[in-house]
Amino acid sequence: MKKAVFFLKLITGIFGLSAAVCQSVHASNNILLIIANKQMTAKLSEPISLDDVLSFYAMKRKLLSNGERATLLTHQLDSEASILFCKHLLDSFPYQVKRKWDVAVFSGRAIRPITLDTNQAIFTYIGENENAIGYVLVDSTQINQIEENFHVIATFN
């Protein structure tokens, strides 16, 4: 038991994650949504797909089908939403994704995603910026309201 506690403290110290965040990832019943501005999706020649979103966040692609640059939004990398997004969709830990972003930004191949602290900040930014794409972790009771105001690209339990 002492080894497990030591290991958890070591991992959380190295990656900057709190034990509460590590535990809440497994205990949460929230739903991860990938959302975009509704006006953007109406202007695209083809609908944005989950594969498109993954290409944007993996920094393999930067332009939407209409030729405009996508604006990517993230939560803080130690947040529950970012941990779930990176782990389940990018098959990486947030610190690994950050390293890839750092290399792409340093080499001039990409622009770093905009980091916002709250779901509300992400909703506001996406509502005001046509090319914005982001992810949020919400309670399942909020999904209908979000679908009325935003284009939901994908949902994950």
Q: What is the pLDDT of residues 48-66, one digit of tens each?
A: 999 999 999 988 898 998 8
Structure tokens at 25: 């990832």
What are the E-state strand segments in the chain? 31-36, 71-74, 114-115, 132-138, 151-156
Pick from 154, 131, 156: which is nearest to 34 by CA?
154
Q: Are 31 and 140 in contact (CB under 8 A)?
A: yes
3-state secondary structure at position 135: strand
Contact criterion met (CB below 8 Å) for 140 and 23: no
pTM of this structure? 0.78
Q: What is the pLDDT of residue 46?
A: 85
For 86-109, write each residue's pLDDT tens digit: 998 899 999 999 999 999 999 988
Tokens of 112: 């770093």
Say how many residues make up the chain.
157
Question: Which among 126, 94, 130, 131 is positioned nearest to 111, based on CA atoms?
Answer: 131
The edge-to-edge listing of strands for the beta sheet with 132-138 is 114-115, 71-74, 132-138, 31-36, 151-156
Residues of the chain with pLDDT under 70: 1-28
Under 8 Å between Cβ of 62 and 70 = yes
